[in-house]
Chains A and B, each alone.
Chain A
């Protein structure tokens, strides 16, 4: 077992903290609601020093911070390098995050004599071999970090062949065998269900609720051809996604909810206003 998560009741509705908002938050923040927490992309802060890292450390002294990585390649035959794990560990030591998470994805694509890091949910067949690989990778990462990880469910654009098990089963077995928790991105479920012709509420019902430690909500858009939903994080959260988050909270009880926005960033105040919807869902979950 790798440490313990903080009391989940302390983390309520959070927002993804992107670089344009970081300086404002470190120096002149708007009024902030109780229970607010922030999640940052870990790789943006894996640097030796300088003002960006200093601003994050300043924020982390006042608010709970979650480190959300895109670089561990936990479902890949080529996992992150030792150097990358060491950088993440150093960042953890500096900001003492409340949560640390990464994605169920492989990311390293050979390219010429080098490699191409693709920070996305590249698909893979959910085989027993892939599950064993992910368990080994997550275990290695947790050992190196001395912390428990949360693993995010993928978004899908195509139904590839060759699965041995459904995704909820894969995630549940991964969590049970490695000791990791699950970060459920309900926008990923909505997008995947629409693209693969699945029933999103049914998918929510299948998730191993007891292993869910964090929930993400985000926006999406339709692609140019109008056939796919893209997990774009560049729009407000859709009503259907909020509904899925509420449904999941009904199964899990209160869990930290994070509003992700990576592009077409609104002001920090507007983002906080949208995150109030997550706080409202949590209040409903408390009352159940």
Chain B
């Protein structure tokens, strides 16, 4: 139960901040009614900003749950794990973990991975731009991934689920039965989520580890055109053969 806060707040900046922080966190209640109302306004404003940021960063989870259920999830997450960075466009890194802990969301077992995918989309959207000059490829060099490139291997068809929930996207007659390896890339200023064959995962790991092209097995090289087409690799010239 929250304690009653002292009648007169401390005057030193650090001690005042500590006093007001207890009020904001709900660990104490101000004795003065106007301070109580001010705390409510500040706490509500901060929670609203955090929840709006989650709604903006997780549109597919929001569409899946509906506005009311998502708002409940967002408020609970924001109360337990509020934004620590002033950049709210990067808020919500741990929403998937919050979802996974919620027993009431157990009927949607794919939801944590959809949230993980959406977090990768956020990261991809704000990642550095690729170098303007094409990379000259040789067999002894690696082919760098574009800075925005991410991927997620899931037991659920997360790429198909994500794509089905994009504005104007057709709803598939059937979603794939198994999991998907989702490639997240940025191409011409928009984010693409592509389902790759599961055996492309070693190639992505090898490229992340800057493995020279000559050391990539032929069965991995077959996936390179799909990566290049998705914009997952930096622009390049030359013949890697």
Binding site for B on A (CB under 8 A): 43-44, 46-54, 69-71, 75-78, 80, 84, 106-111, 114-120, 122-125, 127, 129-130, 133, 156-162, 223, 225, 227-228, 230
Contacts and interface: CB of A to CB of B under 8 A. Distances in A.
A123 B20 contact: yes
20 contacts: A46-B87, A48-B128, A50-B126, A50-B129, A50-B189, A51-B190, A71-B86, A108-B17, A109-B24, A111-B82, A116-B25, A116-B84, A122-B20, A127-B12, A156-B38, A157-B34, A158-B35, A160-B35, A161-B9, A162-B10
B88 to A, nearest CB: 7
Contacts of B61: none
B181 interface: no
Given A44-B88, A49-B129, A69-B86, 5 more contacts: A51-B125, A109-B21, A109-B25, A129-B12, A162-B16
Interface stretch (B40-48, B107-115, B169-177, B231-239): B40-48
Contacts of B46: 116, 118-120
B198 interface: no
B126 A48 contact: yes
Interface string B93-127: 00000000000000000000000000000000111
A117 B9 contact: no
B239 to A, nearest CB: 29
A80 B85 CA distance: 10
Contact of B128 (A49, A51, A71, A123): A49
A115 B84 contact: yes
A43 B84 CA distance: 13
A129 B13 CA distance: 7
Interface in B7-36: 8-14, 16-18, 20-21, 24-25, 32, 34-35
Contacts of B42: 118, 120, 122, 157
A50 B89 contact: no
B148 interface: yes
A44 B128 CA distance: 15
A123 B24 CA distance: 12
A133 B11 CA distance: 13
A49 B147 contact: yes
A119 B17 contact: no
